């Protein structure tokens, strides 16, 4: 903070507000009853409702995955026929991506934590926030109806011309996802405005938690990419309903145009899924290394760089779709570029841990798992981005394995890290650390057992989405299925210890991890309006060399004689960018 710019400085009377332990009134019990939840405009409750929804969808998607893996135990057909198999993998993909991954960190964790991290009372448009949750719900209802009335078998990508011809209920499914897109757009708009307008006094752009930066980058992608998906799906709906022929070669249209449109959204969409994960990991690694984050601006800006480059690489999904070789070369080159900001992040995280006092609690364990798995996923992504290699690996299990390493090994691990990290803040309860570690280990082992063999068999030529295969691949498939079961056990254990924590977990302290970040300077669970005072920020969220008292400041009460007796009273200079 520069003390030279006197014109931008504002003086504030501040005092220390030590967060109360075991608060009697918090956001979970300030209002009661089902209706108070359904009509709430509190971002924390909306976040929890999202969390519950995505947990349900993760469960459905996970069960479908286990069904698929069980079928693949033997080379020949065992208990699913080919059509059902197609429907199951489509549902697995569509549910996991559109209903679980896209809203996971931004809508669930982001809604909960973003305003607290900014020191705001709520998001900028609380009612819009509730509306976007209901839009999400309507979208899911459409999709569930589509599943019941005739499951879709196109794969989650809905490629034309098959998606316009198949007899299943593509119409409802795409409409559901179309509606879902609106929810995603509204959340993105809400977050961008919140970050711009609702920061606490002193929360300058250089003091934003990195989680906020990555949510900011994510919101930009959501706002810019989702409408293109909307128009694509609308065209697909029109194509099916009215036969407008834009994607139909018989009518002079072009099915590859669908792929262009689709990937123009869906490539940025995979960054919607992964970039918020980066934010969570930055928070967790800094907290549990008890050290200032290494390369703050490098991490913050590389999120934006990924968001930007992400819009220019969609062609790498179409190397084999008859795109010109010049275009393919350009897309391939741009794809390599994504590796640079991602690498910057990984090295910065490693540098943060270097010489830190690392505490291997469950969130940190998940962050480590993230680093390990995501690096593998990232490197194989670069391999797939290389033209000649991709021609060989296109549509094989190699791609499946890569995608799962990035999405599950990356995003889901980041989600779990974040969930375990902010769990005390959400519910005011601790979970069993021992079981958390056991389940983390099981998930790690199971995950690698499930997906490492898929790299090998993909490279040997096992195509994706086939429900039968030649005997040669059986050992790999069996290993993979074993891994999937082990992961399943891990998640079941997690479900139970989290449930146990909710019911009779130990009470959590307001700041169980000793973090300096603003969200830990309020009560656990958080107060109904996040803070009882207006927080004032004078240090960055990772300044572990500064005493804790300097992170618990708020605007002093105007007159004396209130119940709060100020412990310290001081005046700091502020860069007054906010009214």
Partner 1 sequence: MGMWIFLVTEILFFGGLFAAYIVYRAWYPDLYVQASTQLDTFWGAVNTAVLIGSSLTVAMAIRSAQLNQIKGLIINLYITIGLAFTFMVIKYFEYVHKFEKGIFPGQYYTYEGIAHEKANIFFSIYYMMTGLHGLHVIIGIGLMIWLLVKAKKGAFSAEYYTPVEITGLYWHLVDVIWIFLFPLLYLID
Residues that bind partner 1 (CB under 8 A): 124-125, 128, 185, 188-190, 192-193, 196-197, 223-228, 230-232, 234-235, 238-239, 242-246, 248, 251-254, 257, 260-261, 264
Shortest distance (Å) from residue 441 CB to partner 1: 43
Secondary structure of 516-564 in HEC code, one letter for each residue:
CCHHHHCCCCCECCECCCCECCCCCCCCCCCCHHHHCEEECCCCCCCCC
For residue 457, the minimal CB distance to partner 1 (Å) is 37
CA dihedral 511, 513, 519, 521 (to 10 degrees): 30
- The answer to whether the beta carbons of residues 248 and 161 sit under 8 Å apart is yes
- Nearer Cβ to partner 1 (232/328): 232
To partner 1, the closest distance from the beta carbon of 174 in angstroms equals 14
Measured from the CB atom, is 8 or 251 closer to partner 1?
251
Q: Which is nearer to partner 1, 245 or 512 (CB)?
A: 245
The edge-to-edge listing of strands for the beta sheet with 569-575 is 553-555, 9-16, 569-575
Least distance in angstroms from the C-beta of 203 to partner 1: 18
Q: Dihedral, CA atoms, 531, 533, 538, 539, nearest 10 degrees? A: -20
Which is nearer to partner 1, 62 or 110 (by Cβ)? 110
User: Minimal distance in Å, beta carbon 53 to partner 1?
Assistant: 23
- We find the least distance from the C-beta atom of residue 250 to partner 1, in angstroms, to be 8
Smaller CB distance to partner 1: residue 85 or 213?
Answer: 213
Q: What minimum distance in Å lies between the beta carbon of 131 and partner 1? A: 12
Specify the residue, 196 or 507, whose C-beta has the smaller distance to partner 1: 196
What SS3 class is residue 268? helix
Rg of the chain in Å (alpha carbons): 24
Contact (CB, 8 A) for 381 and 306: no
Query: Judged by CB, which is closer to partner 1: 194, or 521?
Result: 194
User: How far is it, in rounded angstroms, from Cα 402 to Cα 405?
Assistant: 5
- Record the tokens describing residue 435, joined without a space: 């079981």
Q: Give the separation between CA 524 and CA 23, rounded to whole angstroms.
A: 7
Tell me the three state secondary structure of residue 571.
Answer: strand
| Sign of the alpha-carbon torsion through 104, 107, 111, 113 | positive
When the beta carbons of 250 and 503 are compared against partner 1, the nearer one is 250
- Widest Cα–Cα separation across the chain: 81
In angstroms, give the least distance from the CB of 428 to partner 1. 32
Rounded Cα distance between 53 and 60, Å, is: 11
- Find the shortest distance in angstroms from Cβ 226 to partner 1: 7
Residue that has been written with the tokens 């009853």 in this structure: 33
Query: How far apart, in whole angstroms, are the C-alpha atoms of residue 113 and residue 517?
Result: 11
Output the smallest distance, CB 189 to partner 1, in A.
5
Q: In the bound complex, what is the minimum distance in angstroms from residue 257's beta carbon to partner 1?
A: 6
Question: Residue 185 or 285: which CB sits closer to partner 1?
Answer: 185
Q: Which of 113, 102, 106 is nearest to 140 (CA)?
A: 102
Cβ nearer to partner 1, comparing 10 with 260: 260
Q: Which of 529, 523, 549, 527 is nearest to 538 (CA)?
A: 549
CB of 230 to partner 1, least distance (A): 6
- The answer to whether the CB of 343 falls within 8 A of the CB of 374 is no
Name the phi and psi angles at 575, rounded to 5. Answer: -85, 105
Ramachandran area for residue 572 (φ above 0: left; ψ -120 to 50: alpha; else beta): beta
Helix (H) or strand (E) holding 239: helix 210-242
Q: Please, are residues 403 and 89 in contact by the beta-carbon 8 Å criterion?
A: no
Tokens for 305? Answer: 């760089």
Q: Which is nearer to partner 1, 265 or 469 (CB)?
A: 265
> Which CB atom, from 235 or from 275, has the smaller least distance to partner 1?
235
């Amino acid at each position: 903070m520069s003390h030279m710019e006197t014109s931008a400085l504002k003086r504030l009377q501040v005092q220390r507000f030590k967060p109360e332990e075991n608060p009697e009134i918090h956001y979970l019990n300030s209002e009661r009853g089902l209706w108070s939840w359904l009509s709430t405009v509190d971002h924390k409750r909306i976040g929890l409702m999202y969390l519950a929804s995505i947990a349900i969808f993760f469960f459905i998607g996970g069960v479908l995955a286990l069904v698929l893996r069980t079928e693949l135990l033997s080379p020949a057909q065992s208990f699913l026929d080919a059509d059902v198999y197609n429907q199951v993998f489509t549902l697995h993909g569509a549910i996991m991506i559109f209903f679980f991954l896209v809203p996971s960190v931004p809508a669930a964790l982001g809604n909960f934590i973003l305003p607290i991290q900014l020191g705001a009372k709520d998001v900028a448009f609380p009612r819009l926030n509730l509306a976007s949750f209901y839009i999400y719900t309507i979208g899911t209802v459409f999709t569930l109806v589509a599943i019941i009335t005739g499951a879709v078998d196109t794969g989650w990508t809905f490629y034309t011309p098959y998606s316009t011809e198949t007899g299943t209920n593509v119409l409802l499914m795409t409409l559901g996802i179309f509606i879902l897109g609106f929810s995603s757009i509204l959340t993105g708009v809400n977050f961008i405005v919140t970050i711009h307008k609702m920061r606490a006094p002193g929360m300058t752009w250089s003091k934003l938690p990195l989680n906020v930066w990555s949510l900011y980058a994510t919101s930009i992608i959501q706002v810019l990419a989702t409408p293109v998906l909307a128009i694509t799906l609308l065209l697909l709906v029109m194509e099916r309903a009215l036969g407008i022929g834009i994607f139909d070669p018989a009518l002079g249209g072009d099915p590859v145009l669908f792929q262009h449109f689709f990937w123009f959204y869906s490539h940025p969409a995979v960054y919607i899924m992964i970039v918020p994960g980066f934010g969570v990991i930055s928070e967790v690694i800094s907290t549990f290394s008890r050290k200032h984050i290494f390369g703050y601006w490098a991490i913050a800006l590389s999120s934006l760089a990924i968001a930007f480059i992400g819009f220019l690489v969609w062609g790498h999904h179409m190397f084999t779709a008859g795109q010109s070789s010049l275009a393919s070369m350009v897309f391939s080159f741009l794809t390599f570029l994504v590796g640079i900001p991602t690498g910057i992040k990984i090295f910065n995280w490693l540098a943060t841990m270097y010489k830190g006092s690392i505490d291997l609690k469950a969130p940190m364990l998940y962050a480590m798992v993230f680093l390990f798995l995501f690096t593998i996923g990232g490197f194989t992504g670069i391999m797939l981005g290389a033209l000649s290699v991709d021609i060989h690996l296109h549509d094989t299990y190699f791609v499946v394995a890569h995608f799962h390493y990035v999405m599950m090994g990356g995003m889901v691990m980041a989600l779990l890290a974040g969930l375990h990290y902010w769990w005390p803040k959400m519910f005011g309860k601790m979970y069993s650390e021992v079981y958390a570690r056991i389940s983390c280990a099981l998930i790690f082992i199971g995950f690698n057992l499930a997906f490492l063999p898929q790299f090998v068999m993909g490279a040997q030529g096992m195509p994706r989405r086939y429900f039968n295969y030649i005997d040669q691949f059986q050992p790999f498939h069996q290993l993979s299925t074993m891994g999937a079961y082990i992961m399943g056990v891990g998640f079941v254990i997690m479900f139970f210890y989290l449930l146990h924590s909710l019911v009779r977990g130990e009470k959590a302290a307001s700041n169980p991890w000793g973090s300096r970040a603003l969200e830990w300077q309020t009560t656990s669970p958080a107060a109904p309006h996040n803070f009882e005072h207006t927080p004032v920020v004078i240090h960055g969220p990772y300044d572990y060399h500064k005493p804790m008292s300097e992170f618990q400041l708020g605007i002093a009460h105007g007159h004396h004689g209130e119940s709060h007796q100020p412990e310290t009273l001081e005046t700091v200079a502020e860069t007054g960018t906010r009214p």
